[in-house]
Amino acid sequence: MQVSQVLRALPVVLGLAQRLSAQADVRVQTEGEWFFQEPDGKRLAQVPRGVVVGGGAARGDWQQVTLEGWIFGGSVGPTVRPGFDLAVTRAPDENLRAVPLGTGALVARLNRGFALNKIGDSGRWVHVRREGWMKRDALEPVAAAASSASASRSDTAQGGSIPGPRPGADTTPAGPPPVDPSRAQPARRTTLYRAPDGPAAGALAPETPLRVLGRSGGGEWTRVQFEGWVKTADLATAPPGVLVGVSAAELRADPQRYVGQVVRWTLQVIALETADDLRPDLPDGTPYLLARGPLPERGFVYVIVPEAKKAAVAALAPLATLLVTARVRVGRARFIGNPVVEMLSLEAQP
């Protein structure tokens, strides 16, 4: 298995080596800097401060750059534009992220029709690239910020940005190279939990490579991502058109992405309520289920209940557990921020 993993990774390593030899990375210094099709040409996208892009040839006040990241596969499609493989199909725009995750750091927002070249894919995500131009005075070489480069990359992976060094400041490292806080591995056999203080989901062997996505509980808990393999026969197949494994946190982080999508969640019943003007995301008089979840998450969800299912929901005992298939209406409701979904089916759980 180790040999196959090395062979599979070899093209990526070679491609990265070629890219590094051809261009040096630069970092965006100003918030919302524009990415242009050509120098003094059409504006295509805005890039957040702190994002690292590939730097290319300079032309006067301009520098050629390469945007690279991950985009949701359902938001792109084939294009007939010469020199490109894909174009953004989602209106009005879609996020380009640093990692194949809905909570990954934002690299840029791409308008519908934005053309891209495909590098690869991972599950529902597509790895893409696009060359363009940015103003040179908005960029700084990553090498010029040696003392903050590692922190910048890890902070970008968490969805934030940090300021660059002061002009003229000594950026020579005073000691050993800084530790990359986005990488970790268990020091011992470690229990993996589905949520902080939630049920156990399994165990990680020592030295399993992990990517740190965030922290909670004052640093007591660390959210991690890791890759591995399972036997296909051990996987439960989701019904056609239904998304499984989507958390409420993902909906709140990117509320437009999942609108109209169908999800399957395990929820805990709290109460059957009727919407009023304090719930602006639900029509007045609409019956809705206030539920906790999707389990093991501790947040709350508003579930619009169709008239045909109102009697069945009303008969449920408080704290009963349900398996619900629902269509996403609102990813993050106003005022409170809870997702709003419309019930399609329900099944009581033991």
121 assigned to some structural domain: yes
170 assigned to some structural domain: no
Helix (H, G, I), strand (E, B) or coil at 144: helix
Same domain, 205 and 249: no
Which residues have a Cβ under 8 Å from the Cβ of 267 and sit 6 or more positions away? 289, 291, 292, 293, 294, 295, 301, 303, 321, 322, 324
Residue 312 φ then ψ, to 5°: -65, -40
CA-to-CA distance for 170 and 147, rounded, in angstroms? Answer: 9
Residue range(s) defining the domain that contains residue 12: 2-157
Same domain, 211 and 247: no
Same domain, 42 and 147: yes
* Contact (CB, 8 A) for 52 and 67: no
Q: Is 196 exposed, middle or buried (0-12, 13-18, 19+ CB in 10 A)?
A: middle
Q: What angle do CA 215, 217, 221 make, to 5 degrees?
A: 50
Which residues have a Cβ under 8 Å from the Cβ of 67 and sit 6 or more positions away? 35, 45, 47, 53, 96, 107, 108, 129, 130, 131, 132
Q: Is 201 exposed, middle or buried (0-12, 13-18, 19+ CB in 10 A)?
A: exposed
Same domain, 7 and 151: yes
110 assigned to some structural domain: yes
Q: Among 62, 58, 23, 68, which Cα is nearest to 41's? A: 62
Same domain, 200 and 317: no
CA distances, 133 to each of 53, 128, 265 (Å) = 11, 17, 44
284 assigned to some structural domain: yes
pTM over 0.75: no
Same domain, 76 and 14: yes
Structurally, the chain folds into a number of domains equal to: 3
277 assigned to some structural domain: yes
What does the pLDDT profile of the chain (350 residues) look like in tens digits? Answer: 444 443 444 444 344 444 433 457 899 988 889 999 999 899 999 999 889 998 888 899 999 999 999 999 999 999 999 999 999 998 888 999 988 887 778 899 899 999 999 999 888 899 999 999 999 999 998 864 444 444 444 444 444 444 444 444 444 445 555 556 667 888 888 888 766 766 677 888 877 888 777 776 666 788 787 777 888 888 777 778 898 888 888 888 888 888 999 999 999 999 999 988 778 888 888 999 999 999 888 889 999 999 999 999 999 988 999 999 999 999 988 878 889 999 999 998 87
321 assigned to some structural domain: yes
Same domain, 106 and 200: no
Last residue of a domain, one of 168, 194, 225: 225
Q: Among 51, 66, 54, 70, which Cα is nearest to 128's? A: 70
Same domain, 6 and 99: yes
168 assigned to some structural domain: no
pLDDT tens digits for range 335-344? 788 899 999 9
Same domain, 257 and 217: no
Same domain, 249 and 221: no
Same domain, 197 and 344: no
Last residue of a domain, one of 142, 157, 172: 157
Same domain, 59 and 196: no
Tokens found for residue 345: 């089916």
163 assigned to some structural domain: no
What CATH number is attached to the domain comprising 277? 2.40.50.140
